Amino acid sequence: MSAVVAQQTADEREVLFRVVNRVAIITLNRPAALNALSHEMVRELAALIERCRTDSEIDAVVLRGAGPKGFCAGGDVRALYAMRQRNDGGWQQFFIDEYRLDYALHTFPKPIVALLDGIAMGGGMGLGQAARLRIVTERTKIAMPETRIGFLPDVGATRFLGAMSAELELYVGLTGATLTGAEALLLKLADLCVPSEWLDTFEERLSRIDTTGLGADEWMRALRTVFAPPCNIVPHAGLAAFMQPILRHFDRRSGIERIVASLRQDLEREHPREMRQWLQATYDAMTSHSPTMLHVTREALLRGRQMTLAECFRMELGIVTRAIEEGDFSEGVRAHLVDRDRTPRWAPATLAEVRPERVRHFLASPWREAAHPLADLGVQPH
């Protein structure tokens, strides 16, 4: 009986941990919630990552999600919304802890592999993009859809989306477009695209590695051989067909209203069906997401390209705090995830009504430099 109870307890744990051949395998285990991150999971992941960092018996880490549907659908936004509704300030500690975890992963001294199979969005991207080997499949759905709920692409996105050109970064960050595995590879958000079934047997291949005296570089090569399939067939990236219009419409010199105007003008012309569908979906996103956060996100993404990772996390925490305390976040979550009426009442309601000083206010830190909750991030101890 006790064995059954023990098994039940293991299955109910939100984070699973085991070591195979000197590699820690950390599994996000909330498959019914698409492995969305609770605050408890963030704390547990942080403790496990610290353990892996200091344990001389562990040489690498694999991050994965339980179940076939997702790596991680992001932070538990509804729980954060509920906290805000009852004036529980604990929501801010969630972001502080999440950003510290993401930063620890980005600066981790040992190789990390992230299996971005299925849905990898928001907070899931914060974890996955910190890995040195990011693996996607034909089931992958990657996105940073935060502007849709009155938020901004955070968890380091103001830095990691900068791996692509500013125009592509603005397109992905502003519209929240969902990318396939092949598209993630094209946009430098993934390193390998493999068939999902190939990942079913990776532990067996992992157990056969000769780990004797491997340094970090040799480990990376060994891990790549574990995850690279015998014949690497990369599926077609549909987004490749829209590169020219993306570069044209999302010109880094264009403000949000100019981007929208150029999309509207383009929609008045004759186009093949696929191009028209892409233009309409892009225009719809740019005219239905939070006007304030579209303006703020554009500015934050462009600023992030000139900043360190630690500076990006500090900027994001300030913007997130403003968005939740005095912005569109609660209304966006209410409309899309709670009441689901899909009609958020943004304040202000239109792009033209968003004042430049309002955008500057969101980007100005709520804290003095030394008092910032992430002031010590990236600072070398003396």
DSSP codes of every residue in 62-79: EEEESSSSEEE--B-HHH
In a domain, 290, yes or no: yes
Q: What are phi and psi of 8, to 5 degrees?
A: -60, -45
- Nearest Cα neighbor of 127 from 249, 41, 199, 213 is 41
In a domain, 382, yes or no: no
- Per-residue tens of pLDDT for the chain, all 382 residues: 445 444 445 568 999 999 999 999 999 999 999 999 999 999 999 999 999 999 999 999 999 999 999 999 999 899 999 999 998 888 999 999 999 999 999 999 999 999 999 999 999 999 999 999 999 999 999 999 999 999 999 999 999 999 999 999 999 999 999 999 999 999 999 999 999 999 999 999 999 999 998 988 899 999 999 999 988 676 788 999 999 999 999 999 999 999 999 999 999 999 999 999 999 999 999 999 999 999 999 999 999 999 999 999 999 999 999 999 999 999 999 999 999 999 999 999 999 999 999 999 999 999 998 999 999 998 876 5
Contacts of 169 (CB under 8 A, 6+ apart): 161, 162, 301, 305
In a domain, 377, yes or no: no
CATH number for 206: 3.90.226.10
Model pTM?
A: 0.94
Structural domains of the chain, count: 1
Where does the chain show beta strands of DSSP type E?
Answer: 15-20, 23-28, 60-65, 70-72, 112-116, 119-121, 133-136, 141-143, 192-193
User: Residue 107, Cα to own-chain centre: how many angstroms?
Assistant: 17
Q: Is 178 exposed, middle or buried (0-12, 13-18, 19+ CB in 10 A)?
A: middle
In a domain, 378, yes or no: no
Tokens of 125: 């991207």
**Alpha carbon distance 180, 138 (integer Å):** 7
Q: Is 19 exposed, middle or buried (0-12, 13-18, 19+ CB in 10 A)?
A: middle
Give the residue numbers spanning the domain of 320. 2-371
In a domain, 148, yes or no: yes
- Give CA torsion, residues 296, 131, 20, 198, to 10 deg: 90
In a domain, 381, yes or no: no
In a domain, 379, yes or no: no
In a domain, 324, yes or no: yes
Q: Is 104 exposed, middle or buried (0-12, 13-18, 19+ CB in 10 A)?
A: middle
Look up residue 347 and give its amino acid.
A
Q: Packing angle between helix 90-106 and helix 309-326, nearest 10 degrees?
A: 160
